[in-house]
Amino acid sequence: MTLQYLVGEVSWRLAELAAAADDGPARELSALRRRAETAPLPLLGPVLLDALRVAERVAAESLRRGDVSSFVRQSAASTELYGFALCADLVDERLVVAPGGTVEEVCR
Amino acid sequence: MTTERSDNVSEAQIAVHWREEEYYQPPAAFVGQANASDPAILDRFAEDRFPECFKEYADLLDWDHYWHTTLDTSEAPFWKWFVGGRLNACHNCVDRHLATRPNQAAMIWVPEPEDADPVAITYRELWVRVNEFAALLRDFAGVKAGDRVTFHLPMVPELPVAMLACARLGAIHSEVFGGFSGTACGERIADSGSDVLITMDGYYRNGELIDHKIKADEACEAAAKHGHEVGTVLIWRRHPGRYASDRPMVDGRDHFVDDLLPDYRGQRVAPESMPAEAPLFLMYTSGTTGRPKGCQHSTGGYLAYVTGTSKYYQDIHPDDTYWCAADIGWITGHSYIVYGPLSLGTTTVLYEGVPTYPDPGRLWRIAERLGVTTFHTAPTTIRMLRKLGPDEPTKYHYRFKHMTTVGEPIEPEVWRWYHQVVGKGEAVVVDTWWQTETGGFMGTTLPALQPMKPGSCGPGALGIYPVIYDEVGEVVEAGSGKAGNICIRNPWPGIFQTIWGQPERFKQIYYERYNRDPASTDWHDWPYLAGDGAVEAADGYFRILGRIDDVINVAGHRLGTKELESAALTVDEIAEAAAVPVMDELRGRAVEMYVSLKPGMTASPAVQDGVTAAIEREIGKIARPTQVWIVPDMPKTRSGKIMRRVIAGISNFADVGDITTLANPEIVADIRHQVQREKVAHGQVPRELTPAEAEEIRAFGKAE
């Protein structure tokens, strides 16, 4: 299958997330982007999951600080990433990313 | 919806339980105008006419010199097509249309900002632009036939112009998807040995003008780290005369194309007559070893194949407005936005931006405005559009006659939405299965002759003879309901020639598995291993299941066993590793790792912890194994293959199946004793497996 475009789409979205994040998380997201671009295709799902964790954490921190504009921007990028991941069948809809960025529960 | 796909079933079970779908027939209006509506075409491409059948595709092209040998197999599996022939791809995509349709739009470019008008570029204008840019490449950047030129360009007309300019000169282009990082681009530059990088200062995405020049700097830096210096960076400006980046230009290296082009106005470059087997372009894919794979595609074979498949499968006519909403940075864009459609002299549409910007109706507004007749996109995009705007297509007055899906299997219910809502029940849907490596379609339906079946790509394309092999190379018969490894028994003109600079890797990945004789020059001995799992229905239609690597589905995450095992093997003490699934009440499946140690190494909790840490580091916490078993040896076949189904059976207290053919059957009892005793001692005996779960465990590892 010509699945390579999924790698590109993930890379693109991680770049957008990184651009919306502060320096520390941005570096984490850049490292995840690097993994997405170099790892075999089956690893895209775990990379996305890690990215969603970081995104959740970043948005929660913005909210805690009362930085509404950052929160809105980060949430939008995160929502887009999550939506893409679902449509590309790279993560499962049952996954719940809890506030603070932990992914512990599976809804059933 | 007739499928009942649970996340807890294996690919093999999907194959068995996914019910057959009904056929959909093409509308009579489509059949009446189709390029391939006479069933005789199927006979012309029958196996007894191979390889000469592909003359029909090659004859769609203009040749400077006709070939003398259709297929040369003397250096199998490095196939050579149309040997002795000479041609130029740019001439075939541009020059030859000037006599008949100079003022027809060759492409219509739609910028992302919706207040910007689409830009139509006629064949004559394209010819002028390509010539002038080819002159610039040749005279300013010193590009000549055989040189590699890397592009890192977004979806703008300058990308096909640059591709065609390189083709005109006989240079090999290598487009890196514009959304990729500069580092990824730099690695590809270094691997290909490109001295010239062509990029753009910025482009629009989601309503913002993105700084792209920054990536050119990163790319040059990354290439330098790999020991390769980029001599020239040519930068198109998204808005000529207005620089979209705040990155400084590097003296002597960076140049604005719009500053240079006036010096080449009116210049003409004669198309270089290239041997049919000369490389036309490289298309990189990510690989499992970290080094990207540059798939090298030929000029004559590739162009013939994409032209032929564009004509018969995309049903492209010159007066169509054809829109493949992919990115040219991928093989789909190369084959079915640029080379195939332009070779047939049609009008191809390019869209710069995000399909859902500013809203999920954008694509359908474009289709309505431009009068698109033929539409082409991927299931992921279809799912997104369906999710975000399920009724949007009904608001617009476009009429498609033909639609394609590409890139991944499409679920029947998504297929039906595509057919009924996007296609308004009037358009044929051509589902396609192929790969970067294959150049063009491998499995699909001839739209006027072979009915559609949701969820199945169709039979082999014309002149393509697929087969499904099991793990020992036996043919899995059509209609058996069993899945296996889909292979193509024969070469075809669009097949990539090699991995750039890595011919042994090319042979090993794609041909070694089912090769019958490494010294053979008979193509029958060299089935091409696609790397996808598939099942063939009794009607000869293939349903593609995904990559053949075994996966363990942990809480919805499809973890590849190969990646888990590769991570374990990064621990110094580990000699062999095998990942298997165990039933898990919370997550569906969990991972257990079995490892054996190198001679002289001692089993210890530290080694077990090391394996766990390596997997967490390389893949993520989701993949953390619940157990790491250090065993004295793995159960193996006589050829040395680890029998994962046997250890999966042990971990799940299930039947381990027939072990009489193992090279070391005695090890099974040892491992069972070790593992099950400990599980019993710790109260970890799983519940009895359901029949479906037992079947999954029995089937585990069969993709190997």
More confident residue, B614 or B11: B614
Mean pLDDT, residues B151-161: 98
Amino acid at B522: D
Interacting residues of B38 by C-beta distance below 8 A, sequence separation 6+: none
Does B184 sit within 8 Å of A11, measured CB to CB?
yes
Dist. CA B589–CA B587, nearest whole Å: 5
What's the pLDDT at A93?
62
Percent of chain B residues past pLDDT 70, beyond the cut: 94
What's the pLDDT at A49?
83
Mean pLDDT, residues B395-415: 93
Does the pLDDT of residue B91 top 50, yes or no?
yes
Does the pLDDT of residue A102 top 60, yes or no?
no
Say yes or no: A63 contacts chain B, CB-CB below 8 A. Answer: no
Q: How many domains are there within chain A?
A: 1
Say yes or no: A5 contacts chain B, CB-CB below 8 A. Answer: yes
Q: What is the 3-state secondary structure (H, E, C) of A23-87?
A: HHHHHHHHHHHHHHHHCCHHHHHHHHHHHHHHHHHHHHHHHHHCCHHHHHHHHHHHHHHHHHHHH
Amino acid at A43: L
Chain B, 597-626: which have a CB under 8 Å from a chain A CB? Answer: 619-620, 622-623
Measured CA distances, B327 to B164, B175, B233 (Å): 16, 11, 22
Write out pLDDT tens, residues A41-97.
767 877 888 898 899 899 999 999 999 999 999 998 888 898 898 888 887 665 555
State chain B's mean pLDDT as an integer.
91
Say yes or no: A103 contacts chain B, CB-CB below 8 A. Answer: yes
Q: Assess contact for B466 and B489: CB atoms under 8 A.
A: yes
Write out pLDDT tens, residues B654-682.
988 888 878 888 999 999 999 999 989 88
What's the pLDDT at B595?
94
Does the pLDDT of residue B413 top 80, yes or no?
yes
The b/e string for B103-139 (b: 16+ C-beta within 10 A; e otherwise) is ebbbbbbbbbeeeeeeeebbbbbbbbbbbbbbbbbbe
Residue B210's φ and ψ, nearest 5 degrees, are -85, 135
Q: Are strands B347-351 and B321-324 parallel, antiparallel or unpaired?
A: parallel
What's the pLDDT at B688?
83
Say yes or no: B657 contacts chain A, CB-CB below 8 A. Answer: no
Does the pLDDT of residue B10 top 70, yes or no?
no
Does the pLDDT of residue B5 top 60, yes or no?
no
What's the pLDDT at B6?
31
What's the pLDDT at B404?
97
| Mutation target among A6, A7, A87 for the B interface, most CBs of B within 10 A | A87
Tell me how close the Cα of A93 comes to any Cα of chain B, in angstroms.
Answer: 8
Give A-chain residues touching B584 at CB under 8 angstroms. Answer: none
In this prediction, residue B2 has a pLDDT band, given cuts at 50, 70 and 90, of very low
Tell me how close the Cα of A11 comes to any Cα of chain B, in angstroms.
Answer: 6
H-only helix segments in B266-315: 300-312
Does the pLDDT of residue B598 top 70, yes or no?
yes
Residue B435's φ and ψ, nearest 5 degrees, are -150, 165
Could you give the count of Cα atoms lying within 13 Å of B62 in the half-sphere of its Cβ?
A: 16
Tell me how close the Cα of A5 comes to any Cα of chain B, in angstroms.
Answer: 6
Tell me the DSSP string of B528-561: EEEEEEEEE-TTS-EEEEEESS-EEEETTEEEEH
In this prediction, residue B562 has a pLDDT band, given cuts at 50, 70 and 90, of confident
What's the pLDDT at B523?
98
Does the pLDDT of residue B168 top 90, yes or no?
yes
Lowest mean pLDDT among B144-148, B199-203, B502-506, B619-623: B619-623
Dist. CA B634–CA B575, nearest whole Å: 10
Mean pLDDT, residues B567-582: 87
**Structure token pair of residue B300:** 């004559």
Does the pLDDT of residue B1 top 70, yes or no?
no
In this prediction, residue B292 has a pLDDT band, given cuts at 50, 70 and 90, of confident
Q: Assess contact for B220 and B233: CB atoms under 8 A.
A: yes
Shortest CB distance from A91 goes to which of B181, B556, B623? B556
**First and final C-alpha spacing in chain B:** 31
Write out pLDDT tens, residues A22-44.
888 999 999 999 888 887 776 78
Lowest mean pLDDT among A49-53, B361-365, B401-405: A49-53
Lowest mean pLDDT among B13-17, B261-265, B440-444, B630-634: B13-17
How many CB atoms within 10 Å of residue B537?
17
Give B-chain residues touching A87 at CB under 8 angstroms. Answer: 380-381, 383-384, 387
**Structure token pair of residue B321:** 């407005």
Fill in the DSSP letter of residue B427: S
Give SS3 for B627.
Answer: strand
Say yes or no: A9 contacts chain B, CB-CB below 8 A. Answer: yes
Give B-chain residues touching A41 at CB under 8 angstroms. Answer: 286, 547
Enclosing H/E stretch for B215: helix B213-225
Say yes or no: B465 contacts chain A, CB-CB below 8 A. Answer: no
Does A46 sit within 8 Å of B559, measured CB to CB?
yes
Q: Which domain holds residue A25?
A: 3-105
Does the pLDDT of residue B232 top 70, yes or no?
yes
Q: Assess contact for B148 and A4: CB atoms under 8 A.
A: no
What's the pLDDT at B520?
98
ipTM surpassing 0.90:
no
Mean pLDDT, residues B22-42: 97
Give B-chain residues touching A16 at CB under 8 angstroms. Answer: 206
Say yes or no: A1 contacts chain B, CB-CB below 8 A. Answer: yes
Does A88 sit within 8 Å of B586, measured CB to CB?
no
Write out pLDDT tens, residues B327-343.
999 999 999 999 999 99
Dist. CA A97–CA A75, nearest whole Å: 13
Tell me how close the Cα of B119 comes to any Cα of chain A, in angstroms.
Answer: 26
Measured CA distances, A24 to A29, A100, B116, B492 (Å): 9, 15, 38, 50
Sign of CA dihedral B179, B180, B186, B192: negative
